[in-house]
Chain A
Amino acid sequence: MKGQNKGNLSIPDEFAIKIKSEHRREQIMRYAPASVLVLMVLIFSAIAGGEFASINNLIAVLNQIAIPLLIASGLTFVILLGSIDLSIDGTVGMAGSLLSILILNTKNGNDFGIFGVLLAIGASVLVGLLIGVIHVKLKIPSFMVSFGFMYICKGIAILSYGGIPASISGTLFVALPKVSFIGIPFITWVAIIMVAIAFFIQEYTPFGRHIFAVGTDERIPKSVGVNVDNVKIKVFVLAGLLFGVAGVLGAIRLGQGQSQIGEGLMFPAQAAVVAGGTALSGGKGGVSKTIIGVFIMVVLNNGLSILHVNPYINSAIEGLIILTAVSLTVAKGRKVISK
């Protein structure tokens, strides 16, 4: 009954073959990030030998991974929606700067202790809320709103310490960067715990499931009565929270608050998320994939610095990774319209 014709493949068969090859491609892509990571570790071990593949270096990597992990996790949620958050450099720096002037420091008499931490993170959460609300209610693309807020937050950061950074002097906060538990530094532990919570939210809460739905096709959850606007705003708030924690930890580790804490953190986070396999179009990927992506970026950075490669190159490599990873996951086809 269906189009059978002389000799070669029938039309439904051709169609089935097309679908199958698309499927196979997706299967391969699933294992790509982990393979890239393993490959990288092997190559660096081969070239740099003991300096790279040592316990010391492992600890260094664990140290370096904390903040990128937090940031990339927050960014992952935003990208799962199909949106993006370019404000990272600003919000992280802002949180760190605010922390440094709120807790015991060399610049003013404040000593808010734990409340200072909460306030600093709260500011970042507030920024996330604003980004979400403005994006959703005023229908401005997320990249534009967050881009604007990057500059606003940068300005607020510098404003908070009036150009001259404050050094953290509280004994507890000064000691924290040096504390370790089974070899893993305290700061990394905080990151691990927060990311675990993020993963839990993503996998085990209805909110997490709704994020995937909105990112896949927001008309579907809408028709079932899910408040899509709220989901979006909550995602930006969650991202803001994670960025805030990153900023606070950054300031603690640095010992002082500077807008520079956030400088240049956006590209590697972006690269980590796409390299890990989360698609920019939304609805695909997740925190667990991003973890691999973060390892790829940090190990790459680590290896290159051991090999004394010019650090200025890092930005270029991150850019190339972003371009490559996205071009592999983006929808192809002659009639696809991308702007």
Chain B
Amino acid sequence: MKEELLFSAKNIKKSFHSTQALKGVDFEINKGEVVGLIGENGAGKSTLLKVIIGTEAPSAGEMFIKGEKFAPKTPMDANQHGIGMVFQEQSLITNLSVGQNIFFGYEKDFRKLIYVNWNKMYEESQKALDNVGATGISPRKKVLDYNFATRQLIEIAKVVNVSLRSGSDNCLILLDEPTSLLNENEVAALFKEIKKLTALGHSVIFVSHRLDEVLDITDRIYVYKDGMGVGVVDTKDADERKLYEMMVGRSTTTEYYKIDQQIEPDEEVVLECKDLGLSGIFKHVSFELHKGEVLGIAGVVGSGKEDICSVLCGDDIATSGEYYLKGEKVSFKSPNRALKSNVLMVPKERLVEGVVTTLSVAENVAMSQLKKPSVGPFISKRKIMKQANSWIEKLHIKTKNNKELVLQLSGGNQQKVVFARALASESDILILNHPTRGVDVGAKEDLYTLVRKMVKEGKSVILLGDTLDECIGLSNRVLVMKDGLITGELDSPSTNKLKQIDVVTLMM
């Protein structure tokens, strides 16, 4: 097939607050092509999609569609140029019919004065479904009568329909993690659809964590890392290992992760999981956590590692199996109960579930203390502020004073506040959920030093690293998870750090 360029993006940059999500990436796709876009979390894949579809405007760079300059201000603008996106969270209105969803927002196309010709709309809906080869779907039935996989097809039909109606013969369809909730058969059906689309001359950008699927359906693959393009390969020349190496490859410097400060953990087992399971998410999880240990859990998105943390910190309740704290069986019904047993999580989404922005630094630091600094039976504001000052100094938190609004601190400093909170609580077992997400390099190093110090003082840490590199670098041992099961348990002593490739093979 002759290759004709459909869409290109050059040197796209995008910043949010103080973080640069995209540092100047390129992207090109031809008519009738399926191009994959892969990268770790935070690599910039979703951001690029948002820029293409028009929900975010780029800070710099240019885009071209069919040779014409293209700068959408809203998704509708993108639609007008023949670009449509199927978002990760479905955007169908379940209580409306399939046809009404396909033409949602465009009902005026069927309007004659005050009268709406619904029958015509249903006819057109049927055509739209036929267009993508989605058989067996009745346009008049409500969306909620169809299962998830079918709804995915309806979304694709909707997106293609909107793009086609704008007058383009060649549409660009963006698929963001389309297979995360599909079983094997449904994935196969989806891929058949995609092939039908490309046969008609449309193009698809396929973003996914499932490298095996990406290798199956795409013609070329772009790899992004830390907001930059690492390279683009022809699918026939690539394999999972090579892709993953491109995605995560970083030079590990012993100084960066303070590996020389890594200590050997005690014999004492502080936490033990036996056959732990959360229905539909993970199963048969068994491991031991020792005093003074950093235990890393590695796995791709959806492997279940985050959910293990939720269960252990009390946010979720396990549906099978048990866990023991220093030999005693426990089951935390809430994070409050876990805290009472000295288990606490440092959460991933700082602004959403980490800090309370309506409170000051001092108040945030004191939040996890069950017994707050007090004078007699009354909490002492003076003591709370004194405590906050001491942590500000210890952790080098850059803030004007402890009364400052947490919102005004940079990401790294906000994270330090959350760490201070965790340390002030005197919990023994800390679960660090992507603790350096969105944090600048200087603050990262401070946090790594902090982790080393914590375990030296006798605390134990379960770590979900922001990158595989970080996980290996900081941990004494690494548990590897895949599809809800533990696939490996590897030692990573300071003298003989794991190689990424050893872990990757177990993750995929």
Task: Give the residue of B55, B96, B281, B317 whose beta carbon is less than 8 angstroms from that of A213.
Answer: B96
B94 and A216 within 8 A (CB): yes
Counting residue pairs across A and B whose Cβ atoms lie within 8 Å, the total is: 82
A223 touches B55 (CB 8 A): yes
One digit per residue, 1 when the CB lies within 8 angstroms of any chain B CB and 0 when it does not, for chain A 176-219 equals: 00000000000000000000000000001110010011001100
9-residue interface stretch from B103-111, B223-231, B440-448: B103-111
Give 1 or 0 for each of B351-377: 1 = CB within 8 Å of chain A CB.
000000000000000000000000000
Query: What per-residue 1/0 map shows which CB atoms of B100-133 lie under 8 Å from chain A?
Result: 1000111110010000101000000000000000
Taking CB atoms, residues of chain B closer than 8 Å to A1 are 184, 212
Within 8 A of B (CB), among A4-40: 5, 11-12, 14-19
Residue of B93, B118, B148, B282 near A204 (CB, 8 A) is: B118
**Contact across chains for A224 and B315 when beta carbons are under 8 A apart:** no
Chain B's nearest CB lies how many Å from the CB of A98?
Answer: 30
Complex Cα spacing A220 to B104, Å: 10
A15/B76 in contact, CB under 8 A: no
A284 with B91: in contact, given A1-B184, A14-B279, A209-B104 (CB under 8 Å)?
no
Residue of B nearest to A18 (CB): B280
Q: Which residues of B contact A5 (CB under 8 A)?
A: 283-284, 485
A139 near B: Cβ within 8 Å? Answer: no
Q: Contact check, A2 vs B75: say whether CB atoms are below 8 A apart.
A: no
- A1-B184, A3-B483 in contact; A226/B105 too (CB < 8 A)? yes
Name the residue among B55, B93, B94, B100 with the largest chain A CB count within 10 angstroms: B93
A221 within 8 A of B: yes
Nearest chain B CB to A177's CB is how many angstroms away? 34
**Residues B91 and A223 in contact, CB atoms below 8 Å apart:** yes
Which of B76, B96, B184, B485 sits near A209, CB closer than 8 Å? B96
Tell me how far the C-beta of A76 lies from the nearest C-beta in chain B, rounded to whole angstroms: 13
Residues of A within 8 A of B75 (CB): 223-224
Q: Provide the residues of chain A in CB contact with B280, threshold 8 Å.
A: 11-12, 14-15, 17-18
**What is the bound-complex CA distance between A335 and B184, given in angstroms?**
30
Per the bound structure, the CA–CA distance linking A19 and B74 in Å amounts to 34
Q: Are A224 and B483 in contact (CB under 8 A)?
A: no
> In the complex, A209 Cα to B92 Cα: how many Å?
12
Do A11 and B281 touch (CB < 8 A)? Answer: yes
Task: Kindly list chain B residues whose C-beta atoms are within 8 Å of the C-beta of A205.
Answer: 116
A334 touches B (CB below 8 Å): yes
Closest to A13 in B: B280
**Majority-rule SS of B interface residues:** loop
Q: Does A68 contact B (CB under 8 A)?
A: no
- Indicate if the CB atoms of A212 and B93 lie closer than 8 Å: yes
Contact between A3 and B485, CB atoms less than 8 A apart: yes
Given contacts A1-B184, A11-B280, contact A206 B116 (CB under 8 A): yes
> Chain B's nearest CB lies how many Å from the CB of A238?
16
Q: B264 — which chain A residues lie within 8 A by C-beta?
A: none
A220 to B116, CA, bound (A): 22
Compute how far the CA of A213 lies from the CA of B118 in the bound complex, rounded to whole angstroms. Answer: 18
Instruction: State in angstroms the CA–CA spacing of A205 and B108 once bound together.
Output: 10
List the B side residues contacting A216 at CB < 8 Å. 93-95
User: Which residues of chain B come closer than 8 Å to A109, judged between CB atoms?
Assistant: none
Within 8 A of A (CB), among B462-508: 482-485
Q: Is the CB of A334 within 8 A of B484?
A: no
Q: Kindly identify which residue among B93, B118, B184, B284 contacts A2, using a CB–CB cutoff of 8 Å.
A: B184
B76 near A225: Cβ-Cβ < 8 Å: yes
A209 contact set on B, CB distance < 8 A: 93, 96, 100, 104, 107
Closest chain-A Cβ to B305's Cβ sits at a distance in Å of 14
* Docked pose: A3 CA to B282 CA in angstroms: 9
Partner of B317, one of A3, A283, A334: A334
Query: In the assembled complex, how far is the CB of residue A10 from the closest CB belonging to chain B, in whole angstroms?
Result: 8
Write out the residue numbers on chain A whose beta carbons fall within 8 Å of the beta carbon of B107.
206, 209
Interface status of B253 (Cβ within 8 A of chain A):
no
A149: min CB distance to chain B, Å: 29
B283-A3 in contact (CB<8A): yes
Given A5-B485, A206-B108; A283-B283 close (CB under 8 Å): no
The 8 A CB mask of A222-243 against B (1 = contact, 0 = none) is: 0111100000000000000000
Given contacts A3-B484, A223-B91, A12 and B116 within 8 Å (CB-CB): no
The 8 Å CB contact of A221, one of B55, B105, B279, is: B105
Q: Which residues of A contact B (CB under 8 A)?
A: 1-3, 5, 11-12, 14-19, 204-206, 209, 212-213, 216-217, 220-221, 223-226, 283-284, 334-335
Taking beta carbons and an 8 Å cutoff, which residues of B are in contact with A? 55, 74-76, 91, 93-96, 100, 104-108, 111, 116, 118, 148, 183-184, 212, 279-284, 315-317, 482-485
16 contacts between A and B (CB under 8 A): A2-B184, A5-B485, A11-B283, A14-B280, A15-B279, A15-B281, A18-B280, A204-B116, A206-B108, A206-B116, A212-B96, A213-B96, A223-B74, A223-B76, A224-B75, A224-B76
**Additional A-B contacts beyond A204-B118, A225-B74 (13; CB < 8 A):** A3-B482, A5-B284, A11-B280, A11-B485, A12-B280, A17-B280, A206-B108, A209-B93, A213-B96, A221-B105, A223-B91, A226-B105, A283-B95
List 7 tightest A-B contacts by C-beta distance, closest first.
Answer: A224-B105, A15-B280, A206-B107, A14-B280, A3-B483, A11-B484, A14-B279
